[in-house]
Structure formats: C-alpha cells, structure tokens
Structure 1
Amino acid sequence: MFQKKVLILTSTASFLAQFNHRNIEILQNMNYEVHVAANFTHYGTLSGKSNQKFIDWLYKKGVVVHDVSIRRGLGNLLDNLNALLKINKLMKQEQFSFVHVHTPIASVLGRVMAFKNRVPVIYTAHGFHFSKTSAKVNWLIFPIEWSLSYITQQLIVINQEDYLFARRHLHAKSIDYQAGVGINFNLVKTTTLAEHIEANKALRDKFNLPDDVRIIVSVGELSARKNHRIVIESLKKIERTDVHYVIAGKGHLLSYLKSLAGELDIESQVHFINYTTAIRRLNLAADVAILPSLREGLSRAGLEAIRDGAYLLGSDIRGIKDYIVNDNVGKTFDPHDSEALAKLLIQTIDEPRHKLNQQSIDNLMIFDRKNIDRQMRAVYKKIGIENAN
C-alpha cells in the first residue's frame, strides 16, 4: 500500500530531539511515513547518552533516520556541500509529500533542494538571526531569508516581533504565528511549596551548601549568546555570599565562565551542572530563575521556569518579553547591564515563592503544547491538501 512520506530536516540531532517529538507523532497519526534528517554525529548540546536514547526512540517509533553532515553556522563547507547532495538524493528517491525544515543552515539547504525537486516546504523559524536588538552583522543574513521566502510555502514564526517583520517584509505563501513549540503548561497548577522545599534541599545537598542560602538558576548552553557572564558579574555586585548561582548546560565557554567567577572571587558561589534532563527539578529548587540571553526565538527554558514556579528575570528581548506578561510572572532587564540585573536581584532574591494569579495563567496558556499541537496539525493538514490538489 502506498504511504505518503514527509521529511523533517534540522541541523543537529539535539534540535530534533528537543523540538520535534510531538511533530513526529502528529504526522504518524495522520498516516505519514516520517523521515528525519540531521547531524547525528556532531549532535549538538545533547549528551552522548541522550543522543543514543533519542535515536533508539526514533527507531522504536518506526521513523526513518538519515544522518547528514550539516554543520552549524558556516561550519565546514565540504560537510554542508555533502549534506546538500544527500538531501537532494533523498528528495529524488523518496518523493516526499512535503518537507518541514528548522534551523538556519538546514532551512537554506532544505528549501533550495525542495525547490529544485518541486517539493512543498514548511519552515519554522526559531527566531530570525536579525532583530531589533541583534548586531548589525546579523542583518547580512536578511537578503538570504528574503530570497528564500519566495520559495517557502509555509513560514511559521514563534514570537510576535518576527511575525510582524515577516508579514511586512517576507514573501512566503502563508505566514503563521505559533507561540513557541509548546510545553505542558498545565503543570503550573500542580506545583507546590513542598516540592520547592524538597528540591531546594536536594540541590543544596548536592553542592554542600548551608540551609540559609538563596539559589539562582539558569538553563542554557554555555555560549556567548546565552550570556551567563552578565549574571556572574551581577552576583559580584550584590555582595552577598549567601546567594549561589547554578548553571545547567554544556558548551565551549565553561572554562571562561569558571575563570571569570575566580577573577571576581566568587567561584565558590557559581556551580555548573552540565547537560541535564532534570530541568523541572532544577526549576523547582530555584528561588529566582534568570534568562540573560542576547538573542532568542522563544526560549523554552524561561517558560519552563515560570511553569515550575520560579520568578523569572529575563532579558528585554523578543522571545522572552513575549511571556513575561506582568510583574506577577517576572521582570525584564537590559542583558548588557549587570548593574540593572543586580538591582533586580536585590529586589527579588529574598521574596518567597508565590503562585501565579489566574489572569497570568490564562495569558500564558497560549504556550501550552495542546494549543501548539492543534495549530501544527492544521498546518500539516493544509499543506497536505494543497499538495494533493
């Protein structure tokens, strides 16, 4: 029996693992044979164990896996050229009904080959590299995005700033807004003070910290974009030895961040967890969560911190201020200003945990995964019908 086929294409396996579990299941429930293509060798921010666990899950679900040599950024030109040829071969062989691309390099390679092979394409832009607050050099990417928009059947953007920009300046056949990739926001209603106390104690025990310390948590890879540096500098400015900063993530700036804490003489107050899947436990332990990024699409880490009951201090940028809807949820700050963040820390670090009011919860339910899945099913159904016609 003939079965329709669809390809999901991303640069790294880690991105595929974080954002596409439910899309795969939605497509399979719509009777598509799902193929995924990503770099499973240089797999990104996952641990090796988590990468293998995800591969096992894909095979268990009957997903067809293709390892392609896409490299982030400009990466290795030869690797990306080989990936382009493999994607082209895949599209010729498999005759996909449509392709869903994510991440900048994968979206370029995938859309070019989809156009060549006359395959409809959906592109989810997880935050354009160019924005009101991005560096001017990032705008060099805009002409590429503008050109490729002419061959994009469906563009999905995940924050309001990108949506308004796309409507004004890009030319995809359809442009839709979705509030991120969706998380289980209903968990906000079940979070208890007892859970916070228990998780906080477990984290203090892990690092042998006294009972009376206050804990700041950040989740995100150790990169310049995630900007953990500004939090370390702010921690020095508040001059409180009872406040500790826990960072969950892996990345090339680990040595630099450790050295910075040492130079500021607060190395005993800064702790690194590396990659972890126990994000909810970490957020439950936090007295305050900080998301200091310089650029985001729509950060899942901040939403999960709010959902898990942590008060969020987040950068005043698109993709974060979208969900810091009022002071009940959190506050925003200039991610370049350590003094401003230090002042917010002084104001909030000793505040007891509180539940979100109903108005805040109602405003934030747009980010719930059931809402996102409903929108995604509609997109897949629409492009399937258009392709059939």
Structure 2
Amino acid sequence: MKICHVITRMIVGGAQENTLFTIKGHLENGHETVLVTGPTEGPEGRLLQHQKLPNLKVEVLENLQREIHWTSEFSTIKELERIFRRESFDVVHTHSSKAGILGRIAAKRCNIPVIVHTVHGQSFHQYQSNFKNRIFIMAERFAAKRCHRIFAVADAMIDQCVEAGIAPRTKYQTVYSGMDLEPYLNSPRDEELAKELNISDDTFVVGKIARLFELKGHKYLIKAAAAVIEEIPNIKFLLIGDGILRQELSDQIEAAGLKDYFIFTGLVDPSEIPRYVGLMDVLVHLSLREGLARTLVQAMAAKVPVVSYKIDGAPEVVIDGETGYLCAPESDLAVSAALVKLYKDPETRKEMGIIGQDFVRIKWDWHTMVTQLEAAYEELLENSQRQN
C-alpha cells in the first residue's frame, strides 16, 4: 500500500509519537509512506529531530498551522490536493483537528480510495467557549462525512463524538495508542541520574510528565503538595517537560514555600524518559482533557503505580484500586490522599506495579497498533475496489 499521514505539527507529544510509530511499522512492513506536516515551532521540541526514520519522505506545508487563518486554510487544501494527486495514495490517514479537517476535505476531492482519521483528543471540550465548541463540532461533522473510518485512542473518545452527533458509532473503531514499552519494562533506578537531580535513596519521588501548559493540571499538583509534605517530609515532585507556564509555575511553587520539593527537568529527549520514570515511586496525571495519556501506560509498564484524574480514557488504563487510583477532576485533596496512602503502603505500591505492567505490556505495544490499523486499511481498500 502507498500511505500518507497528515498531522498539524510534529512536536514531542502523544499524537505525534503515535503517528511516528505507525509510520515506522508501515516502513518495516514494506509500505511506501509519506508524512505531511506543518512547521514545528515552540518549547515542546521537534520529534523528528529525536526519532528519525531514514526512509521516510516528509513534506512540510508552511500554511498548515494550528491557529485558524481562513486564507491559509484554502491554500493548505490546495497544497494537499497537489500532493495527493501527484502521489496517488491508497490511504490518507489524518491526525489532529486542523490537519484532520483539511486533510479529509482534500483527500475526498482527490478520490483517495481509503480516507481515515484518528481522534487523539477532542477539539471540543468544556474548558472552551460554547461558540468555539459549536464551530469545531460542525467542522468535525463535515469532515466525518468525507472519510471511511474514524479511529480513536480510547472508547471514551468515541462516546463523546457520538454524543456530539459527529458520526454514527458504526463509523468508529478503538485502536489504543501504541508505544515502545521495552525500555520501560526494564527501567532500573539510574543512580547517576538520581545524583544529578539530588534525589537520595530514601526520597519518595512523585513524577509528572507533561507540557507546562494550561489544562495539564500542574496547579492542582502544587496544591496537593502543600497538603502532603507534613506526612511525607522526604517527598520530591519531578516535573518532566517544558512550556509557556514554566516561570508562572515556578513562581507559584516559590510563593507556597515549596521550592525545595520540586524539580523542573525541562525538555527531556523521549528516549531518556524511561530513566526518569525509573526514579519514580508514583506517577501523577492531572490533565483535565486528554484522549488517553501515554504517560500512564509508560509508568505502568515500569511497575510504577499511578494517580490520575478520572477523565476521558484514563479509566480504560487505570484500574482504580488495582493499578493506581482515579480521582475526581480538579480535586487536589483526593490526589494528596492517594499519595499519602501509597506512601504508607509500599507493599500495595509493589503489587499495583506488577498488575499494571501485566495489563499494558501487550495491549499498548506499538506493533499491536500497527497490525490493527493496517488490517483496517486493507479491509477498507478491498471494499473500495469492490465498489469500483
């Protein structure tokens, strides 16, 4: 098959890693594959600099931007059409909201045999205005009519889309976001890194891996930290990631008198993340919206119990009370209570880690994801050929 993936930007992020692993699988399976993306700017880092695929052809469209600029959108559709007509793809697979809408419009206009899209996270949600939500829902409905199947990284994503009337449930298929779990399955404590971060053997390490952006929940972790330091005086909070809120969060931590309890790592190369996870006793995931957080799966693969807000796909990976704890969104008190409970019961932490690793090691492996996607492509391609 000749396959094209279209995504708005290739920053260091979950949707982008998902896309890159999918492409890696295509190339290994002998499929000619092209990646079309927009320019990658910002503090999140450029994924293609860290994880290069030597046989991958990449087309960068300068007008494919996350922000909405109506004149640029029409130019982008024309550029996509030019690429699609020139390459005659069997499959166009779009990712992210902007690229998903523009890519599906262009692919439909070019009569691409198989057009599919993956929902990694919703473009509509309760934390933005009703006006914006209406616009995004209308656009998603329009695009949904111009593709053959919509994949989602969690069942919860499908429920939300169906409830919003974007497409009937029969058009959706859950394909969990695959990743390379091998480095996490064997991630012993890295003493050199611990020394570098000033983490001693008796430190209780609570990690959070996320961009320092709105809705990622760092402010709730800071509130929870203030509530637990008396009961866990040897605690350290390890914040992995960078973003526009770095200084603001640092100021909040200092104002709360918690400076000695927090460590900012800045941007970390994805290949280095297992070393940091290996230092953690618990991982927290406090985002208010996320399809299905890869960090939850990665931590569980490393036998690290997790504490997560009960949002989107989190309940599909976190078994409450067995692999970690699910808390009500925005509740810092529930998070602090869960951390204290895990701190006081190392045997439960160990047991949760073992159960968690067994639960994720096959289901979220990237080879499993690629197999499911390519089977769907082939099924849809056969349907298209029969109709023609």
TM-score (norm 2): 0.86
Superposition deviation, residue 331 in structure 1 = 0.2
Judging changes above 3 Å, is the alpha-carbon distance between structure 1 residues 44 and 266 closer, same or farther for their aligned structure 2 residues?
closer
Using the alignment, how far apart are the partners of 1:375 and 1:384 within structure 2? 14
The match for 2:26 is 27
Match of 2:91 among 98, 119, 133: 98
1:259 aligns with 2:251: yes
The match for 2:332 is 338
More moved, 88-97 vs 166-175: 166-175
1:235 aligns with 2:225: yes
The match for 1:269 is 261
Work out whether residues 314 and 331 of structure 1, in 8 Å CA contact, stay in contact via their aligned partners in 2. yes
Structure 2: which amino acid aligns with 1:87? L
The match for 1:244 is 236
Using the alignment, how far apart are the partners of 1:177 and 1:336 within structure 2? 27
1:147 aligns with 2:142: yes
Structure 1: which amino acid aligns with 2:197? F
Work out whether residues 149 and 171 of structure 1, in 8 Å CA contact, stay in contact via their aligned partners in 2. yes
1:190-248 residue CA offsets vs partner (Å, 9 max, x unmatched) = 548xx2xx33x444412324443211101011111211111011101223442111111
1:176 aligns with 2:166: no
Structure 2: which amino acid aligns with 1:279? I
1:116 aligns with 2:109: yes
1:367 aligns with 2:357: no
Work out whether residues 7 and 35 of structure 1, in 8 Å CA contact, stay in contact via their aligned partners in 2. yes
The DSSP-based 3-state class of the residue aligned with 1:100 is: strand
Report the identity percentage: 17
Where does structure 1 lack aligned partners over 5 or more consecutive residues? none
The DSSP-based 3-state class of the residue aligned with 1:366 is: coil
The match for 2:37 is 38
Work out whether residues 217 and 246 of structure 1, in 8 Å CA contact, stay in contact via their aligned partners in 2. yes
1:286-331 residue CA offsets vs partner (Å, 9 max, x unmatched) = 0111000000111111110111111100011112121112312100
Name the count of aligned residue pairs.
371
Superposition deviation, residue 184 in structure 1 = 4.2
Superposition deviation, residue 33 in structure 1 = 2.1
More moved, 163-172 vs 373-382: 163-172
Instruction: Please give the root-mean-square deviation of Cα atoms over the aligned residues, in Å.
Output: 2.7
Work out whether residues 44 and 211 of structure 2, in 8 Å CA contact, stay in contact via their aligned partners in 1. yes
The DSSP-based 3-state class of the residue aligned with 2:237 is: strand
Using the alignment, how far apart are the partners of 1:92 and 1:244 within structure 2? 54
Using the alignment, how far apart are the partners of 1:135 and 1:332 within structure 2? 24
1:311-357 residue CA offsets vs partner (Å, 9 max, x unmatched) = 10001111212111231210011231212212222211343241448
Work out whether residues 323 and 355 of structure 2, in 8 Å CA contact, stay in contact via their aligned partners in 1. no
The match for 1:107 is 100
Using the alignment, how far apart are the partners of 2:201 and 2:26 within structure 1? 49
1:135-160 residue CA offsets vs partner (Å, 9 max, x unmatched) = 56363222221222111211101111
Where does structure 2 lack aligned partners over 5 or more consecutive residues? none
Superposition deviation, residue 165 in structure 1 = 4.1
Match of 1:66 among 59, 64, 79: 59
